[in-house]
Amino acid sequence: MEIPFLSFDNMHTRIKAEMCSAFEKVYDSHWYIMGNSLNTFEKNYASFCNTDYCCGVANGLDAIIISLKALNIGQGDEVIVPSNTYIATWLAVSYVGAKPIPVEPRADTYNIDPTLIERAITPATKAIIPVHLYGQACEMDQIMPIAQKHNLFVIEDNAQAQGARCKGQITGSFGNINATSFYPGKNLGALGDAGAITTNDKELYNKANVIRNYGSEKKYYNMIKGINSRLDEMQAAFLDVKLKYLNEWNRERNEIATYYNEGLKNVTDIILPVTANECTSVFHIYMIRTKRRDELQEFLRNKGIGSLIHYPVPPHMQEAYKEMDCKKGDFPIAEEIANTCLSLPLYPGLTHAQVDYITDMIASFFR
Ligand SMILES: *Cc1c(COP(=O)(O)O)cnc(C)c1O
């Protein structure tokens, strides 16, 4: 049986007619940047996140960069980031001239450990960027009070967790200003690059709007040195179609994850995903861990099963961050995750028969 790591077959076949009519509507409107489709999607995505405002941007990295710029974070500032994340979180901090300060994750949930945040705070600290990694909400009920106590901004990196919740509150609505990505493979994915910012703060929203469009509110009048990071009409129209299915697709992802857990519960050699108290996951990724990760990945590949490693090298060990002069063992939990993690196929349309095949193969590998 051939099972790719990710397939759009089921999702995109089902909505093809709606997507084509969204395309035609934008095509025939002859208006391709900053128009009605963007306005509509921004309104609908803000409503999905239960925030007052949404500002569409070109991608998830820009969403974090623009959020940092809107908060005036830059040279000389420190920003707390997880040691276990996709590198974009760190790159955004570096790009505005600030310094990423890594904090280790919990070894069970893989999200930033709230109990380790306070010791990383210095007089230069300006903000915390919790990343809701692999689809699971961070423990925002613990992180927000720490930020308040130390007068720090919070920017959620919600690229992987659209629709997840902590204590019933949806991700993307906790921080002062929050970033997300609609990279095609994300739970809500465009047909190209796209991203967004969500906030309840009108002033930050206005600033983000201006920064993404050349620092201009009124055409050809530039208040600040902004950038071009607009979400185009075509992607906004596609996203607006897919947004209607997001809750249903997230439920299906959860159902598949539960089915995996059931199928793998007797395989004692692997560690299964754990969700923190009061937090939910939208299972952007279903990740298991084993010391024999590379062998298992090779075995599955030979059985036709795709898998990926999220991520093989933590940011502090990347060549791009050689100036941090990190040694092996500086952030041991992030390193252990990188050395043992394996993400299995999980997407709407993945059948129980396919999951049965995958879990049977994993069980046979360890037998
Ligand atoms: C995908 C991702 C980003 C970046 O999004 P792009 O749209 O690819 O720029 C940022 N942070 C995390 C955690 C991501 O997974």
How many residues appear in the chain? Answer: 367
Please give the Cα distance from 193 to 290 (Å, whole number): 33
Work out which ligand 1 atom sits closest to the CA atom of 89.
11
Calculate mean pLDDT across residues 284-294: 98
User: pLDDT (tens digit, 9 = 90+) per residue, 160-200?
Assistant: 999 999 999 999 999 999 999 999 999 999 999 999 999 99
Dist. CA 76 → ligand 1 center (Å): 25
| Amino acid, single-letter form, for residue 276 | A
Dist. CA 111 → ligand 1 center (Å): 16
| Helices within the chain (DSSP H only) | 9-14, 16-29, 36-48, 60-70, 88-95, 140-149, 202-212, 233-243, 246-264, 293-302, 332-340, 352-366
Protein residue with least CA distance to atom 2, ligand 1: 159
Do 160 and 187 meet the contact criterion of CB atoms below 8 Å apart? yes
Alpha-carbon torsion, ordered 46, 144, 334, 59, to 10 deg: 20
Dist. CA 192 → ligand 1 center (Å): 13
Work out which ligand 1 atom sits closest to the CA atom of 182.
7
Name the token pair of 165.
């919740």
Alpha-carbon torsion, ordered 262, 6, 84, 154, to 10 deg: -100
pLDDT at site 140 = 98
Dist. CA 356 → ligand 1 center (Å): 31
Residues with beta carbon inside 6 Å of ligand 1? 59-61, 85-86, 88-89, 131, 157, 159-160, 181, 183, 193, 195
Dist. CA 267 → ligand 1 center (Å): 32
User: pLDDT (tens digit, 9 = 90+) per residue, 307-326?
Assistant: 999 999 999 999 999 999 99
Please give the Cα distance from 62 to 362 (Å, whole number): 39
3-state secondary structure (DSSP) of residue 182:
coil
User: pLDDT (tens digit, 9 = 90+) per residue, 142-163?
Assistant: 999 999 999 999 999 999 999 9
| Amino acid, single-letter form, for residue 215 | G
The per-residue pLDDT of the chain, averaged, comes to: 98
pLDDT at site 195 = 98
